[in-house]
Structure 1
Amino acid sequence: MKNFVIRLWFLADLMLIGFAAPAISAEPKLNMTQGVTEISGRVYELHMLIFYICCAIAVVVFGAIFFSIVRHRKSRGAVAASFHESTKIEILWTLIPIVILILMAIPATKTLIAMEDTSQSDLTVQITGSQWKWHYRYFDQDVAFFSLLTTSQQQIQGVDEKGEHYLLEVDQPLVLPAHRKVRFLLTSDDVIHSWWVPDFAVKKDAIPGFINEAWTRVDKPGIYRGQCAELCGRAHGFMPVVVQVLEPEAFDTWLTDKKNALAEEAASAQSALSQTLSLEALMRQGEAVYLDRCAVCHQPTGVGIPGAFPAIKGSPVATGALELHLDTVLNGRAGTAMQAFANQLTEQEIAAVVTYQRNAWGNNTNDAVQAADVNAYKQRLEAVKEGQ
C-alpha cells in the first residue's frame, strides 16, 4: 500500500510540474510569445488566464480522484455507496462548467472583437500570397514589390552552414511605421496561404478570390519574422515574412526613397528595351534570375522533380518555338504551379532567364533573347486581346 501511495504522489508531482513549467520558465519556446503590440499582449493575457483556469480545474478534479482512491480504498474497508443518482450533484456539475465557460468567453469575445476592428487605420497594405513569395502594395502610395527568400541554395542543400535566420530572411521586408495603425488586406494569386507574424498576434489566411482583413499597431521599432502558416505546396517552408518597423519619420523617408527607387527601376527597364546584350551577359543575368525564381521547382540543374515539376533540360518548351517559351514564362500554365511572371519580372529579366533556359544544361539553342523581343511579344498578345 505504501508503494501505491508513493506512486500516486509521484504522478501528481509530474502533472503539477507539467502544468507549471510553461508559466514559470524563462524560455519563450515553452510558452506563447507576449509580442510587441497591444493586441498580442491581450492575447497573451487571455491565454494565461485560461491556462490558470485549466490548472485550477485539473488540481480540483485530480485532487478529488486521488483523495477518493486513497481515502476509500478497499484495504480500509470502504464500501461503495448504494445510490445510483443525485439530482443536486448533476445540476451542480452542469452549472459550474457553464459558469466557467461564460467567465472565459467574456474576455475572449472582447479580445476577438478588438482583433477584427480595422477601422480608423493610418495606412493600408495589400498582401498577396503566391507560390512562394509575398507581394506588398501600399495603398495610395504607388509602392509595390515582391518579398523573396534570400537563404542560399547552398544552405538549403546543407553544403554551407545555416545562418542565424535560416529560411527567415528576405530581399525586401515589409516596412511599417511605429505608433500607427496599419490595416492589412490579404488575398492570394493561386492557393491558400496564411500570413503569420507571432509578435503581432496576426495570422490571417490569404484565399484566392477573397479579401481578408487584419491590423496591427507596433510601438517598438525592430525587425520581426514570421512565415506562411498554411501548407501551400512543396516550397511552403521557403515563404518567410519579415517586417521592419521604423519610427514614423524614418518610415516617411523610406517611403520617399522607395518611390524614387521604383521610378528609377521603371526608367531602367524602359531603357533596356533599346539595348542589345551579348549571349554571355544574358546568360549571367539569366542564371541569377533562374536561381532566385525558378530553381525551387525546376531545381538548379534544370531536371525538375518527376511527377511534380517538369524538367527544363531538354524540354520541348526550352528547345522548341521561342513564342511558346515566352508565353509559358509570361502567362504561366493554368492548372499547374507555373506562375505568370509578366508582372513579376522586367522584360530584361524575362529575356535573360529565357535565354539561360534555352542554352543551359545542354539545350544549346544559341538563342539570345533581348528585352525588345519580350516587349514585342507582349504587345502582340495585347493586340490579340483587344481584337477579341
Structure 2
Amino acid sequence: MVQHDEKPLMLFVDDDPDVQSAARLLFRHRGLDIVCAHDAQSALTQLATHAIDLVLLDLNYSKGATNGAEGLALLKDMLVLRPELPVVVVTGHSGVAIAVAAMRTGARDFVMKPWNNERLMTLIEKILASRPVERKTATEHTMIVASAALGRIVAEADRLAPTRAPIIICGPPGSGKTLLARRIFALSRDAGREILIRADECGALPEEQGNWLIRDVEALTPTLQRRLADSLERTDLPRVVALSSLDRNVLETRFDPRLMLHLGMVVLTVPPLDQRPDDIMALTSHFLHYFATRHGLPEPEVDDVCLASLKTGDWPQNVRSLRVRVERAVLTGTWQIPSSEQHGNAGVPTTLYETERLLIETALRKHGFNITQAARELGLTRPALYRRMARYGL
C-alpha cells in the first residue's frame, strides 16, 4: 500500500526529446518524479509498469501529425486501464478544439504549448492534492495492439461497447479474449459490476444484473443454455460477453439454436499470435520493459536473429507463451532455451548460427523462395537476406 508520503510519479508523453528534458528538470526541481514516453505503445508500457499518479499527454507523435487522433486514441486506452487516472492534455498544433474533445473523452484539463511553468505547476499540484490516499498500483494487463488484424477487431469492439449487444469472442487460448472483453465492459455505457461465470463449473446463472463474462461458454449445460437464452430475450437483460476457444461453426453445433440466435449476433475472432508478427514485436518490447523494471534487471539485447526467431516462433499459448519467454530472457539474461527443454527433438538448433540458418531456410521454402515475401516475414531488407543466403549457402 503506497501512501502520500512518497513522491508523486508523473508520466509525460511527448515525442520531442527536448521538451521531455525540459519537463524532467522542471518537475524534479519541484519534487515530482517523472517517467517519459514518446508514443502510444511506450506510454501504455510505462502505465502498466509504474504506479502513475498523473499523466501529461501530448496529442501528436508521428512526424507531421496535427489532428490529435493519436493522443485521443491513447487517452481512451489509458482510461480503459485506469478510469480514475487524471490526464492533463498538452496541446500546441492541435488547438483548443481538439483539447475540448479530449476533455469530453475524459481528460481532467488541458494546457497550451508553450506552457507557463507556474500555471502548469499550480494545476498539477491542485490535481495531485485531490488524489486518493492509496496510490493505484501498476498492472501488466494492457492490451497492446500493433497489427492491423487485431486493430480491426478492437475497433469493432469499441464501436459495439456502448450498446447492450451480447457478444461472443472466439480465439485460441491466451490470444487476448479476456482483455478484449474487459475493454468492452470499460467502454460500456453501463459500468456495472463484472460477474465472472466459468461455464464448466456453473450450476446456475447469477440472479443479479451487471456485466456477465462467461468463459468457455460452450461448456454450459443444455438447461443453462436455455435459461441464458431466456435472459437475453428480456428487456432488462444483463450485458453478456462470452468467450470460447472454438470457432463460430463449431459453436453452432454445440449451442441451443435459440441461444445462438441471440448470443451469436456478433462474433469477434481474435487471431492467434503467430498470425500477428507486428504484435509479437510490440508485446516483446512491452514485456521486456515491464519485467526488467519488475525484477530490477537489465533488458537483454534483441538482435536480428532473436527478432526473426520470435516472429516465426511457435506460441502454443499465444501471448501467455510469449510473456513467459520474455520473462525468462530477463531473468536469465539470454534468449537461449535450455537444451533440456527442447523436448529431445533431433536436429533442434542450439547455436545462433544454426537458428538463423533454419529460420531463413524455413521462410524461403514457405514462400517458394520469393525473396521479397521471405524478407518481409523475417523483418529483413532484400540485400540483408541475400547476404545471409550467401553466408549459409542458400
TM-score category (smaller protein): under 0.3
Structure-2-length-normalised TM-score: 0.22
Structure-1-length-normalised TM-score: 0.22
The structure that has the greater radius of gyration is 1
